[in-house]
C-alpha cells in the first residue's frame, strides 16, 4: 500500500541545531505508513522542484510530508509548484519547523525537537484522513440582469451590451432614466438632464442586445454566479430569465422633511426635488430664495452626508441668479461639500454669480416663519456671530437621499445584506461593487448616494465585474473564490446523516445551505457554488454530518490527538 514520503529540509542550515533533525528522522521513520524519509538542503532553489518529484516517484509514496519553512514564504511556493506539476493538493502537507519551531525556540533543543516531532506526527495524521472536494462545473449563462434603469443601470447595461452580451434591463417605472428624469440640469456642466439621458435611452432602444422590461419587478431569484434564475413580473405577465450575473442599480429614495422648517405647513417651503421639477417645467422662479442645507442629514437618524445636496443647491442657486440678475439667493449651510477642483470652481462661480452663503451651527438651526406663506428666515450667522433676518419668497430644503424602499425585498430575494441605513452592503473593502454573494454587484445610489456621473462610472465598473463572469464559458465552484489561491474546498453533507435541524442554514454567511424535503423529513443541501469554505457549518453541526474534506473532523482529530506525544496516540 502506498505511503508517505517525509522530506526534511535543512533550510541551508537554518533549522539545526535548534531542532535535532537526525532525531526527527529516526522518530518519523518509525511511524506506520512512512515509506521514506529524506533530507534535502533546500526545497526552494530552481533545481529542487524536479528533484523532489523524482524522489517522490522513486519512493512509491502517494502522499508527501514536507518539513520546512513557513507557508507564507518559500515553502508555500514549493507546495504550489508541486501542485502545478499535477500532485493533488490534499496529498501534500507542509509543516513549518523553521519560523514555527527552530527560530522561536532557539534556546531549547529538547523542547524544539519534541515539538517538531509532534508537528510532523500531526501532519501525518492529517495526511491520513485529509480529503479532496469534488468540484462542480456549471456552464455560464452569457446574459446579465440589470435591475434599475437610472444612470447607473443604463451605464451598466450599455457597457455589457457593447461587450457583446445580452442584457435584461428591468425598471419598475414606465421609462428609463431614474432620478435624472426628475431634475432639470446636471452639475457641474449644467447640461440638461434629458440631454444626458438621451444617448443611453437611444442605445437601449436601438441595441438588440438590450431587452428593456418597463413596469417590471423581480419577484423571485434562485441560483448562483453563472446561473441565476430570476422571475420578472409585469402587468403583461411573468417572464423567467436565466442570467450569469446580476447588477443591482435600483437607486435611492427621496426623503421628505415632514416636521422640519415648516415643511407642509407654509406655502413655498419646498424640497430641492420640487424646485427641480419647477425648473424643468419652466415655472417662474421666486424673486427671493433661501436654501437650507443638511436638512435631515448629518443628524442622529442619518449621520451621513449625502454628497449631492451642496453641488445641487449651488447649481440651482446659480441658475436662479442667471435667470434673474435681481434675484436674491442665499444658501444657509453647515459645511460646503464640493470636493475636487471642478466642484471647487463650481462653488466659487456661485460666489461670483452673487449667491450669498451664510454658515449656521447645527445647535442653532435657522427658523422659518410666515403666516400661511413663508415670509422670512432667521439665522444665527456662525462666522460673524450676528443674527440675520432674511425676507424671502421661497425656502428650499436640501434633503439627503435615503435607501430605496424596494431594497429590503431585493435583499431578501438575492440574499444580499443591507447596511444599517438600508443601502446594499458592499463586501469588504477589498472587493468594491461586489456583494456577499458571488455574481451579484451593486452600483450607483443603491450602494450609497452619489451623483449621476459617479453612478454611471460605478455602473461601468459593475459591468466590468459582471463581464469577468459572463466572459467565461464555464465556471467551477472551486475557482469561485476571492482568495488568490482559490477556495479550500466546499462543504459536503453526508447522505442519511442529516437530521434537518437547520443549524448550518442559520450560520452560513452565504446562504449556501438550504433545507429540502426528502421523504417526510428535512435534509440540508450545500450549494457548492455559493459555499466559500469558511467552515461555519461544520462547527455547528451536532453530529458532524457536514464536513469539508480538506479539513474534516477525522483529520483534525488526528492532529489534536498527536499534538502532544503524551496524549492519545493514533
Partner 1 sequence: MNAHGMTDKTTTPRVLVFACRWCALVGADAAGRGRADLPASFRVIPVECAAMVEPDSVLRALASGADGVAVMGCHLGGCRFNDANHVALKRMEALGDLLDTVGIGRRRLLLSFGAAHEGRQFTEVLGAFFRELAPLPSLAAWRKTLLNQPSFR
Partner 2 sequence: MSETLKTIREKAENLLAGGLADGVLCLGRDRFNVVQPRLFRKAEEIASLEIEPKWNLAKLAMQTLRALEKSFRLTVVCRGCDERALLELGKRNQIDAARMTTLSYTCGREQAEACLCARPYPENPAAGEKIAGVDPFGDPRFAGPLAGDDDTRMARWTGLLSRCLKCYGCRNACPICVCTPCKLEDDLWVERSAVPAEMIPYHLIRAFHLSDTCVACGACQDACPVGIPLLALQLVMRRSLREKYGYEAGLQADRKSPLLMDFEHASPVGLTLPAWTVSSEAPHER
Q: What's the angle, vertex CA 355, arms to CA 351 and CA 359, rounded to 5?
A: 85
Tell me the HSE value of 316 on the side-chain side, using a 13 A CA sphere.
31
- Contacting partner 2 (CB under 8 A), which of 33, 259, 362, 544? 544
Q: What is the 3-class SS of 321-365, one letter each residue?
A: HHHCCCCEEEEEECCCCCCCHHHHHHHHHHHHCCCEEEECCCCCC
Q: Are 498 and 491 in contact (CB under 8 A)?
A: no
Q: What are phi and psi of 309, to 5 degrees?
A: -70, -40
State in angstroms the smallest separation of the CB of 459 from partner 1. Answer: 24
> 73 or 500: whose CB is closer to partner 1?
73
* Residue 506 near partner 2 by CB under 8 A: yes
Contacts of 522 (CB under 8 A, 6+ apart): 500, 502, 515, 516
Place of cell 519551531: 101
- What's the CA gap between 469 and 413, in Å, rounded? 21
Q: Is the Cβ of residue 282 or residue 542 nearer to partner 2 in the bound state?
A: 542
Interface with partner 1 (CB under 8 A), residue from 427, 451, 477, 530: 427
- Other CB atoms closer than 10 Å to residue 295's CB: what's the count? 25
Q: How far apart are CA 105 and CA 311, in angstroms?
A: 62
Choosing from 55, 507, 515, 518, the residue that interacts with partner 1 (CB under 8 A) is: 507
| Contacting range for partner 2; rule: CB under 8 A; set: 57-65, 86-94, 464-472, 553-561 | 553-561
Q: Of partner 1, partner 2, none, which one does residue 499 interact with (CB within 5 to 8 Å by kind)? A: partner 2
The answer to whether residue 521 forms part of the interface with partner 2 (CB under 8 A) is yes
Q: CB-wise, 115 or 492, nearer to partner 1?
A: 115
| Closer Cβ to partner 2, 110 or 543, answer by number | 543
DSSP codes, 490-543: --EE-TTT-----HHHHH-TT--EEEEEETTEEEEEE-TTT-----HHHHH-TT
**Residue in 4, 24, 87, 119 binding partner 1, rule: CB under 8 A:** 119
453 in contact with partner 2 (CB under 8 A): no
Binding partner 2 (rule: CB under 8 A), the pick from 182, 194, 501, 534 is 501
507 binds partner 2 (CB under 8 A): yes
Q: Which is nearer to partner 1, 366 or 489 (CB)?
A: 489
- For partner 1, the binding residue among 480, 488, 498, 512 (CB under 8 A) is 488
**Helix ranges, 339-382 (H):** 341-352
100 binds, among partner 2, partner 1, none (CB under 5 to 8 A by kind): partner 1
x/- track of binding to partner 2 for residues 16-45 (CB under 8 A): ------------------------------
Distance CA 174, CA 151 (A): 16
Site for partner 1 in 432-461 (CB under 8 A): 436
Q: Which is nearer to partner 2, 243 or 555 (CB)?
A: 555
CA 255 from chain center: how many Å? 26
Closest contact distance (angstroms) between CB of 89 and partner 1 is: 14
**Rounded (10°) CA dihedral 389, 391, 392, 393:** 150
Nearer to partner 2, 256 or 518 (CB): 518
Is residue 420 part of the contact set for partner 2 (CB under 8 A)? yes
Distance in angstroms (rounded) separating the CA atoms of residues 175 and 388: 45
Which of 105/196 has CB closer to partner 1?
105
Minimum distance from residue 483 beta carbon to partner 2 (Å): 20
Cell numbers given for 385:
456671530
Question: Smaller CB distance to partner 1: residue 382 or 560?
Answer: 560
Sign of CA dihedral 169, 170, 172, 174: positive
Q: Using DSSP, state whether 198 is helix, strand or coil.
A: helix
* Shortest reach from residue 509's CB to partner 2, in Å: 8
With CB cut-offs between 5 and 8 Å by kind, which of partner 1, partner 2, none does residue 107 bind?
A: partner 1
- Cell numbers standing for residue 261: 422648517
C-alpha cell at 156: 451598466
Q: Please give the radius of gyration of the chain, using alpha carbons only, rounded to the nearest integer.
A: 32
The verdict on 497 binding partner 1 (CB under 8 A) reads no
Among 10, 63, 91, 98, binds partner 1 (CB under 8 A): 98
User: Which of 20, 31, 48, 118 touches partner 1 (CB under 8 A)?
Assistant: 118
Residue placing its CB nearer to partner 2 in the complex, 370 or 557: 557
Rounded Cα gap, residues 19 and 10, in angstroms? 10
Number of residues engaging partner 1 in binding (CB under 8 A): 51
How many residues are present in the chain?
Answer: 570
Q: Does 71 engage in binding with partner 1 (CB under 8 A)?
A: yes
Q: How far apart are CA 229 and CA 467, in angstroms?
A: 18
**What are the cell numbers at 568?**
492519545
Q: Which of 536, 545, 546, 549 touches partner 1 (CB under 8 A)?
A: 536
d(CA 435, CA 149): 20
Shortest distance, position 445 Cβ to partner 1, whole Å: 23
Distance, CA of 196 to CA of 85 (rounded, Å): 54
How many Å apart are CA 221 and CA 229, to the nearest integer? 6
**If binding is defined by CB under 8 A, does position 546 make contact with partner 1?**
no
Q: Which residues bind partner 2 (CB under 8 A)?
A: 420, 497, 499-503, 506-507, 509, 515, 520-522, 540, 542-544, 553-554, 557
Q: Which residues bind partner 1 (CB under 8 A)?
A: 70-72, 96, 98-101, 103-108, 111-112, 114-115, 118-119, 122, 427-428, 436, 482-483, 488, 507, 509-510, 532-536, 538-540, 548, 551, 553, 556-557, 559-561, 563-564, 566-568
Amino acid at each position: 500500500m502506498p505511503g508517505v514520503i517525509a522530506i526534511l529540509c535543512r533550510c541551508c542550515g537554518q533549522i539545526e541545531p535548534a531542532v535535532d533533525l537526525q532525531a526527527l528522522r529516526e522518530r518519523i521513520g518509525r511511524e506506520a505508513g512512512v515509506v521514506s524519509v529524506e533530507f534535502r538542503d533546500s526545497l526552494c532553489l530552481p533545481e529542487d522542484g524536479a528533484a523532489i518529484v523524482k524522489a517522490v516517484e522513486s519512493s512509491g509514496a502517494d502522499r508527501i510530508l514536507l518539513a520546512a519553512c513557513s507557508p507564507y514564504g518559500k515553502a508555500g511556493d514549493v507546495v504550489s509548484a508541486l501542485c502545478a506539476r499535477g500532485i493533488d493538493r490534499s496529498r501534500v502537507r507542509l509543516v513549518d519547523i523553521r519560523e514555527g519551531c527552530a527560530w522561536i525556540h532557539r534556546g531549547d533543543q529538547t523542547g524544539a525537537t519534541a515539538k517538531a516531532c509532534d508537528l510532523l506526527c500531526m501532519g501525518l495524521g492529517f495526511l491520513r484522513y485529509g480529503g479532496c472536494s469534488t468540484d462542480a462545473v456549471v456552464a455560464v449563462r452569457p446574459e446579465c440582469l440589470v435591475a434599475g434603469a437610472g444612470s447607473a443601470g443604463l451605464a451598466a447595461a450599455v457597457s455589457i451590451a457593447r461587450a457583446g452580451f445580452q442584457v435584461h434591463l428591468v425598471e419598475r417605472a414606465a421609462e428609463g432614466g431614474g432620478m435624472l428624469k426628475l431634475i432639470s440640469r446636471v452639475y457641474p456642466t449644467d447640461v440638461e438632464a434629458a440631454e444626458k439621458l438621451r444617448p443611453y435611452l437611444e442605445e437601449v432602444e436601438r441595441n438588440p442586445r438590450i431587452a428593456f422590461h418597463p413596469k417590471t419587478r423581480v419577484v423571485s431569484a434562485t441560483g448562483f454566479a453563472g446561473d441565476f434564475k430570476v422571475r420578472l413580473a409585469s402587468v403583461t405577465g411573468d417572464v423567467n430569465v436565466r442570467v450569469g450575473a446580476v447588477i443591482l442599480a435600483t437607486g435611492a429614495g427621496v426623503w421628505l422633511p415632514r416636521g422640519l422648517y415648516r415643511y407642509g405647513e407654509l406655502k413655498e417651503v419646498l424640497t430641492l426635488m420640487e424646485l427641480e421639477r419647477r425648473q424643468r417645467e419652466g415655472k417662474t422662479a421666486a424673486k427671493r430664495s433661501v436654501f437650507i442645507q443638511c436638512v435631515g442629514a448629518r443628524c442622529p437618524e442619518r449621520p451621513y452626508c449625502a454628497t449631492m445636496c451642496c453641488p445641487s443647491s449651488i447649481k440651482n442657486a446659480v441658475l436662479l441668479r442667471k435667470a434673474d440678475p435681481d434675484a436674491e439667493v442665499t444658501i444657509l449651510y453647515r459645511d460646503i461639500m464640493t470636493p475636487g477642483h471642478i466642484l471647487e470652481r463650481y462653488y466659487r462661480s456661485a460666489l461670483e454669480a452673487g449667491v450669498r452663503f451664510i454658515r449656521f451651527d447645527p445647535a442653532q438651526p435657522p427658523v422659518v416663519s410666515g403666516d400661511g406663506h413663508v415670509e422670512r428666515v432667521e439665522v444665527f450667522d456662525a462666522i460673524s456671530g450676528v443674527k440675520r433676518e432674511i425676507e424671502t419668497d421661497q425656502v428650499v430644503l436640501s434633503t439627503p437621499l435615503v435607501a430605496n424602499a424596494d431594497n429590503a425585498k431585493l435583499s431578501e430575494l438575492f440574499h444580499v445584506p443591507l447596511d444599517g441605513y438600508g443601502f446594499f452592503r458592499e463586501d469588504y473593502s477589498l472587493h468594491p461593487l461586489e456583494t456577499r454573494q458571488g455574481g451579484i454587484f451593486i452600483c450607483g445610489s443603491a450602494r450609497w448616494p452619489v451623483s449621476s456621473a459617479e453612478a454611471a462610472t460605478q455602473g461601468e465598473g459593475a459591468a466590468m465585474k459582471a463581464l469577468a463572469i459572463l466572459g467565461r464559458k464555464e465556471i467551477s465552484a472551486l475557482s469561485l473564490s476571492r482568495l488568490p489561491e482559490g477556495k479550500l474546498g466546499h462543504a459536503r453533507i453526508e447522505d442519511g446523516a442529516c437530521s434537518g435541524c437547520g443549524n448550518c442554514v442559520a450560520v452560513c454567511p452565504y446562504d449556501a445551505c438550504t433545507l429540502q424535503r426528502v421523504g417526510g423529513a428535512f435534509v440540508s443541501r450545500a450549494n457548492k457554488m455559493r459555499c466559500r469554505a469558511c467552515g461555519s457549518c461544520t462547527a455547528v453541526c451536532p453530529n458532524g454530518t457536514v464536513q469539508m474534506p480538506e479539513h474534516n473532523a477525522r483529520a483534525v482529530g488526528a492532529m489534536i490527538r498527536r499534538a502532544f506525544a503524551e496524549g492519545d496516540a493514533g
